[in-house]
């Protein structure tokens, strides 16, 4: 009798040990983003998953949730703060609402080209901004990329800011962007990305603005006829993590997350570059009219007051440093 009970206890103990090993063996990491599974964000998400799972030798497994299935970017950032989401690839659109220091990156016509933007984000300024995230219950892992944003609409060709007058344009939930479109004479309507396709389809808004990458990945040609390459603002993407997960990790484990984010950013930027080369032809094939020879000067002049919204509140130190970097 005694022997049988001992055996039962021993087996019970063994089962408990196996169970706890299993739990440790598979820490599941929930990764979300708003774009489709064919997008440049998904290319980056795949690279993140591959790198983290390889470096950690299976200690972490990554579950990808594309297409806004975890909500819009603002909702996912909130999810990071409360620990319902672990990693998010997001534009800086709604990020300024959480980390105001990042608003500077959303100023129109700030970056000249991809080289300059990537260089600033990979340098001291980018590092400083990533560090700032931890003052706001977020962990900044790396700067990835969305791309230079352009305008699309279903009404008319846009060549000058006057052509945008009166258009209802969906913007991201970002004060700097809203002000820029107001200055152009458009009527800005902030909205979370997952609602955008339907809003365009139903005519709630006439147009929107996004990089070629996003226009391609979201089949916007189905609901938008005209694309003008205004390139009015560079749109970075941030790879963010939840402090609730990251704070509990060892230095070595955190380093795996950093490296996974680096690999993700690299893969995404490569895909952005590829789509910058091939995207316009593809969109024309799909039936969009694409205006490539837009003069940026009148747009630049029109949106200038948006800078005051930023400098009035945050000064011009960061802005001057970025401008000095080209």
Residues forming contacts to ligand EAX in the complex (CB under 6 A) are 34-35, 73, 90-91, 93, 146, 172, 193, 210, 214, 235
- Shortest Å, Cβ 208 to ligand EAX: 7
Q: Is 209 helix (H, G, I), strand (E, B) or coil?
A: strand
**C-beta of 149 vs 226, nearer to ligand EAX:** 149
CA gyration radius, the chain: 22
Helix intervals (H) in the chain: 2-25, 40-55, 73-82, 114-122, 124-132, 175-183, 196-201, 212-217, 243-246, 251-285, 296-303, 306-314, 317-323
**Residue 262 · residue 142 · CB < 8 Å:** yes
Q: Is 33 helix (H, G, I), strand (E, B) or coil?
A: coil
**C-beta of 62 vs 196, nearer to ligand EAX:** 196
Q: How far apart are CA 64 and CA 201, in angstroms?
A: 27
71, HSE (Cβ side, Cα atoms, 13 Å):
13
**C-beta of 41 vs 307, nearer to ligand EAX:** 41
- Shortest Å, Cβ 53 to ligand EAX: 24
Tokens of 119: 């260089």
- Shortest Å, Cβ 220 to ligand EAX: 11
- Shortest Å, Cβ 79 to ligand EAX: 15
- Shortest Å, Cβ 210 to ligand EAX: 5
Report the b/e string of 248-261 with b at 16+ CB within 10 A.
Answer: eeeeebbebbebbb
- Shortest Å, Cβ 235 to ligand EAX: 6
Tokens of 239: 């790879």
**C-beta of 103 vs 193, nearer to ligand EAX:** 193
257, HSE (Cβ side, Cα atoms, 13 Å):
26
Q: How far apart are CA 53 and CA 256, in angstroms?
A: 9
- Shortest Å, Cβ 132 to ligand EAX: 20
Q: How far apart are CA 96 and CA 176, in angstroms?
A: 9
**C-beta of 120 vs 233, nearer to ligand EAX:** 233
**C-beta of 56 vs 146, nearer to ligand EAX:** 146
- Shortest Å, Cβ 251 to ligand EAX: 30
**C-beta of 197 vs 314, nearer to ligand EAX:** 197
**C-beta of 72 vs 161, nearer to ligand EAX:** 72
Q: How far apart are CA 229 and CA 313, in angstroms?
A: 30
Pairing mode, strands 139-153 and 226-241: antiparallel
């Amino acid at each position: 009798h005694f022997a049988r009970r001992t055996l039962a206890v021993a087996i019970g103990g063994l089962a408990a040990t196996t169970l706890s090993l299993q739990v440790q063996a598979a820490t599941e990491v929930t990764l979300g983003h708003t774009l489709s599974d064919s997008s440049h964000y998904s290319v980056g998400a795949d690279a993140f998953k591959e790198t983290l799972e390889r470096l950690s030798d299976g200690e972490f497994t990554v579950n990808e949730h594309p297409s806004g299935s975890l909500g819009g970017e603002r909702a996912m950032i909130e999810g990071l703060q409360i620990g319902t989401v672990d990693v998010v690839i997001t534009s800086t659109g709604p990020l300024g609402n959480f980390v105001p220091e990042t608003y500077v990156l959303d100023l129109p016509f700030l970056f000249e080209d991809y080289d300059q933007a990537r260089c600033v984000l990979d340098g001291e300024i980018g590092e400083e901004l990533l560090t700032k995230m931890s003052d706001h219950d977020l962990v900044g892992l790396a700067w990835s990329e969305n791309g230079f944003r352009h305008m699309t609409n279903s009404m008319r060709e846009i060549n000058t800011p006057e052509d945008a007058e009166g258009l209802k344009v969906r913007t991201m939930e970002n004060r700097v962007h809203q002000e820029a479109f107001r200055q152009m004479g458009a009527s800005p309507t902030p909205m979370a990305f997952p609602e955008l396709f339907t809003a365009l389809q139903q005519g709630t808004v006439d147009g929107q603005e996004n990089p070629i990458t996003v226009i391609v990945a979201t089949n916007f040609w189905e609901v938008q006829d005209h694309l003008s390459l205004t390139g009015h603002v560079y749109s970075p993407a941030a790879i963010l993590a939840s402090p609730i997960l990251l704070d509990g990790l060892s230095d070595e484990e955190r380093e795996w997350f950093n490296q996974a984010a680096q690999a993700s950013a690299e893969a995404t930027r490569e895909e952005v570059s590829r789509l910058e080369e091939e995207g316009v032809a593809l969109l024309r094939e799909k039936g969009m009219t694409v205006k490539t020879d837009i003069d940026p000067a009148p747009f630049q002049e029109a949106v200038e007051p948006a800078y005051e919204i930023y400098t009035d509140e945050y000064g011009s130190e960061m802005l001057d440093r970025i401008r000095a970097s080209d």
